[in-house]
Amino acid sequence: MKNLRITGRRIVPLTISVALVMLSAACGSSSNSSAGSTSSKSITVAVAYPSPPKALLAEFTKQTGIKVNWVNIGWDDLQTKIAAAMTAKTYFADATDVDWSKVGEYEKTGWFYPLNTWFSPSALSSDMPQVDTFVSDNKLMGVPFDSSFLVTTVNTKDFSKAGISTIPTTLAGFSAALKTVGTANGMANPLDIHLATAEGLSTCWYQMTAAFGGSVLSATDSPEFTSPSSPGYQAMNWMVNAYKSGLVAKGNINEADYTGFTTEMAKNRVAAELCDYSGSVASIYNVPASSSVVNQTEYVPTPGATGAGFNVANPDGIGIPKTAKNVPGAVAFIKWFTNTENQAIWAGLKGPSDVVSTFPLPARLSSFALLTKAGDIAQASELAAILRAHAKAPFPNGAPSWYVQFSSAVQTNIHEAAAGQETVQQAVSAIATTVQQLKSAG
């Protein structure tokens, strides 16, 4: 009895202490739930790119005294993380990805700081043609840190083998040429279009719509693809028919964009990519370790309905979430990451050891000039010309705040049309209905 009383006296405070420790651990872990810095001498950068070389990040630290914690998260997962963290108002990074498609959304939700205090869009636009993509309601929501745009890439060796030295600039001519190329090279399906329900399918449709000479939404965000003669309708019809006719492999129904680039084009299973990303030639196809088509691919003018068409811009930007703990540090980092020389270095100015892996192209024309001079990037001057004159934003009014729901409807319905689960007319109607619902919901 006596021993039990003594034991009881000891157990109760011990149990209470354990409970308090567990609760404080839970509370502590929830307030520091993300890996990242809490110090004014460090920042966390969360983007969908591997880190620049440590030596270069060390240079930034040396210049500013700020240490960079780099977090590389896949693009889709990063968007989820941003949405979850910002809704819960929790910290996860000081600087993070602002995709062109999210600009309207972030402006409306107020999740990111407008950067106008530190960066002037008008001052930047002459050197960064795509900066306007990141402006919504006069607020600069992100600074472009690459100049991604959709391009057409061909395997010139395959085309030469088929006796085609000049790549057709019309879609009709291009399709006919592809069939000849397929026969000459023993390729059953010479074209790659990725048809998985993913963002890449949506942007491919915008690209093909631009190739047909139009845009999917008007300046007032109304659908412009409902009429069978409209560029958007024709583009969707063309994509679905390319799949059903065998120009595109049946397996592409579940293939995402980078899978297509790395397993189809890079392995010479196809001879052309219609919705490739600028920079693929240098960062994927000319990399000997993973490509069978080194020095065989080239960017060509995007075939259009009546001649070379436009290229749709889909750049990534970098912005500062409202939960950031070191805003000055994030601003300093953005300035450093997007300056002329560094943008050229990420793309290969100082050789492969200093590149940022999978980095498409620099956001600045001045960086292109450095690369053209050094001769380091395949077709740098052609790409600069596309960036300057042909790369246009997918939507005249910028990405609407409801873009993500719109894109979800686009990719789902085009996928189902290609898979034969609905007709192109049904797909178009479903997407148009979604647009009307989203617009009326505000």
Partner 1 sequence: MSGPWSRRLLPYILVSPLVVFIGALSFVPTVDTTVEAFFRVMPLDPPTRFTGLGNFRDLFDNSSVLTSWVNTAVYVVVGVVLSVVFGTAIAMALKRRFRFRGVFLALVILPWALPAVVEAVIWNWIYNPTFGVMNNALHSLHLIGSYHVWLGLERWLTILLIEIVQVWQITPLSALIILAALQSVPPDLYEAARVDGAGAMQVFRRISLPLIRPAIAVAAVEALVLSLNIFDQVYILNGIAPLGSSVMLQTYVTTFQNLNFGGGYALSLLMTLATAVLSMATLALLYRRSQAVT
Residues in the site for partner 1, rule: CB under 8 A?
Answer: 1, 4-5, 7-9, 11-12, 15, 18-19, 22-23, 26, 79-80, 83-84, 86-87, 105, 108-109, 111, 196-198, 249-251, 253-254, 256, 263, 269, 401-402, 404-405, 408, 411-412, 415-416, 419-421, 441-442
Residue 28 CB-density burial (10 A; 0-12 exposed, 13-18 middle, 19+ buried):
exposed
Residue with Cβ nearer partner 1 (79 or 338)? 79
Residue with Cβ nearer partner 1 (3 or 166)? 3
Residue with Cβ nearer partner 1 (346 or 402)? 402
> Hey, which residues does 277 pair with through a beta bridge?
150
Alpha carbons 82 and 90: distance in angstroms, whole number? 10
For the bound state, the minimum distance from the C-beta of residue 95 to partner 1, rounded and expressed in Å, comes to: 21
- Say how many Å lie between the first and final Cα of the chain, rounded: 72
For the bound state, the minimum distance from the C-beta of residue 144 to partner 1, rounded and expressed in Å, comes to: 24
For the bound state, the minimum distance from the C-beta of residue 46 to partner 1, rounded and expressed in Å, comes to: 16
User: What are the backbone dihedrals phi and psi of residue 87, each rounded to the nearest 5 degrees, phi first?
Assistant: -65, -40
Residue with Cβ nearer partner 1 (313 or 404)? 404
Tokens of 348: 């290969």
Residue with Cβ nearer partner 1 (27 or 172)? 27
Sheet of strand 143-144: strand arrangement = 67-72, 42-47, 95-99, 316-319, 143-144
The residue among 209, 226, 216, 223 whose CA lies nearest residue 171 is: 209
Residue with Cβ nearer partner 1 (196 or 378)? 196
Tokens of 55: 């030596």
Residue with Cβ nearer partner 1 (80 or 357)? 80
For the bound state, the minimum distance from the C-beta of residue 299 to partner 1, rounded and expressed in Å, comes to: 25
Residue 96 contacts residue 46 (beta carbons within 8 Å)? yes
For the bound state, the minimum distance from the C-beta of residue 401 to partner 1, rounded and expressed in Å, comes to: 6
The residue among 41, 61, 40 whose CA lies nearest residue 51 is: 61
Tokens of 256: 């995402």
Residue with Cβ nearer partner 1 (254 or 379)? 254
For the bound state, the minimum distance from the C-beta of residue 195 to partner 1, rounded and expressed in Å, comes to: 9
Tokens of 182: 């397929």
Tokens of 172: 């009709």
For the bound state, the minimum distance from the C-beta of residue 263 to partner 1, rounded and expressed in Å, comes to: 8
Residue 98 contacts residue 141 (beta carbons within 8 Å)? yes
Tokens of 436: 């009307």
> Hey, which residues does 403 pair with through a beta bridge?
none
Alpha carbons 387 and 361: distance in angstroms, whole number? 10
For the bound state, the minimum distance from the C-beta of residue 122 to partner 1, rounded and expressed in Å, comes to: 28
Q: What is the largest CA-CA distance in the chain?
A: 101
Question: Tokens 């129904």 appear where?
Answer: 253
Residue with Cβ nearer partner 1 (94 or 107)? 107
Rounded (to 5) percent helix, strand, coil in the chain? 50, 15, 40
For the bound state, the minimum distance from the C-beta of residue 23 to partner 1, rounded and expressed in Å, comes to: 7
For the bound state, the minimum distance from the C-beta of residue 434 to partner 1, rounded and expressed in Å, comes to: 11
Residue with Cβ nearer partner 1 (193 or 387)? 193
For residue 10, count other CB atoms closer than 10 A to its CB. 10
